[in-house]
């Protein structure tokens, strides 16, 4: 990878020139390379941005030198990329926090608070503009970007649902639980959220529950869909499917709540919970997925892991 490095020197006064240049470097996504200067990946767009800034610095009696380099020793490309990921991660975190705040408001929302919904819509739109801005300068695709956009999209769905007028009474209540012995259907090749959810269903809701696998388009025709896009028993707000089921079943068990935090962190990686067990459980499930070609066998073995986890947590709570 080739890099652009900008070395600058500006007069101490007036300070507005130094502040203005610093802000422009921040807005274009440049990061500080220790005390040596500012750096960006070399593209036609970043080259033009730096060239315009060089002219601006020179116009206020400052000095600017633009270098094109293949290496920045003793740093590796990975070291430099980490600087960009850290800088973008801080900006993405502001979007994450804003989205979570909106979700908290929606959890307390009542149908007559229309002004509150209007305010949340304005804030969500502002977060979208900021998210788009950050992604436009996220040249090296920081891992935090995908998490921030996923959470924003989840928040947008929740807000759209709150903006939709409630249905007239008399319709079927969507949150009613399925009959005992029902078949619950999810996507093939289950991972941690689907396996944990199946364990929860059989252990706390319906010991006679059966499980099947189908694509999203066919799931509702074969049984009760769960962890399928658009399903009632799926992701809602910041909750993964396991958390949704805990709430729908009204489970108060302390160990289940701990498992919910582990599953949430392992499934969403959004930093909401700091559960050290999440990495180990996720690794065990991923290993099981790789070693077990049959989905029914995979589900049974995965549920056994959660039986063991539930038992171990009893000794700690």
Greater model confidence, 209 or 159: 209
Distance CA 315, CA 103 (A): 34
How confident is the model over 273-285, as pLDDT tens digits? Answer: 878 888 899 999 9
Domain borders along the chain are: 3-69, 77-163, 183-314
The CATH topology of domain 3-69 is Alpha-Beta Plaits (3.30.70)
Share of the chain above pLDDT 70, in %: 92
Question: What is the structure's pLDDT at 121?
Answer: 87
Scanning the structure block, which residue is given the tokens 């759209």?
Answer: 160
The pLDDT mean for the chain works out to: 88
How confident is the model over 162-207, as pLDDT tens digits? Answer: 776 544 444 444 457 888 899 999 999 999 999 999 999 999 999 9
Predicted TM-score (pTM) of the model is 0.53
Q: What is the DSSP letter of 226?
A: B
Give the largest Cα separation in the chain, rounded.
79
How confident is the model over 67-82, as pLDDT tens digits? Answer: 999 988 888 999 999 9
- How far apart, in Å, are the Cα atoms of 288 and each of 189, 276, 280? 11, 20, 12
How confident is the model over 20-35, as pLDDT tens digits? Answer: 999 999 999 999 987 6
Question: What is the structure's pLDDT at 159?
Answer: 84
């Amino acid at each position: 990878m080739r890099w652009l490095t900008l070395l600058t020197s500006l007069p101490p006064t007036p300070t507005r020139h130094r502040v203005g240049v610093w802000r422009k470097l921040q807005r274009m996504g440049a990061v500080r390379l220790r005390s040596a200067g500012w750096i960006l990946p070399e593209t036609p767009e970043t080259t033009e941005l730096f060239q315009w800034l060089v002219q601006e610095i020179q116009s206020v009696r400052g000095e600017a030198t633009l270098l094109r380099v293949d290496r920045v020793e003793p740093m590796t490309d990975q070291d430099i990329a980490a600087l960009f990921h850290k800088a973008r991660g801080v900006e993405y975190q502001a979007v994450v926090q804003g989205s979570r705040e909106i979700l908290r408001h929606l959890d307390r929302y009542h149908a007559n608070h229309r002004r509150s919904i209007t305010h949340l819509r304005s804030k969500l739109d502002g977060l979208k503009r900021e998210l788009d801005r950050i992604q436009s300068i996220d040249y090296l695709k920081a891992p935090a970007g995908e998490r921030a956009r996923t959470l924003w999209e989840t928040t947008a769905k929740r807000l759209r649902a709150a903006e939709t007028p409630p249905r007239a009474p008399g319709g079927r209540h969507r949150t009613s639980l399925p009959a005992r012995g029902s078949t619950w259907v999810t996507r093939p090749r289950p991972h941690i959220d689907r396996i944990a959810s199946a364990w929860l269903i059989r252990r706390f809701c319906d010991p006679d529950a059966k499980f099947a696998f189908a694509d999203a388009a066919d799931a509702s025709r074969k049984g009760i869909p769960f962890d399928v896009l658009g399903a009632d028993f799926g992701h809602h707000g910041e909750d993964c499917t396991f958390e949704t089921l805990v709430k729908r079943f009204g489970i108060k068990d302390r160990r289940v709540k701990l498992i919910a935090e582990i599953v949430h962190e392992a499934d969403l990686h959004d930093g909401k919970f700091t559960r050290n067990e999440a990495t180990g459980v996720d690794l065990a499930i991923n290993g099981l997925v790789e070693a077990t070609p049959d989905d029914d066998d995979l589900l049974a073995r995965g549920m056994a892991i959660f039986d063991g986890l539930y038992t171990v947590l009893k000794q700690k709570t």
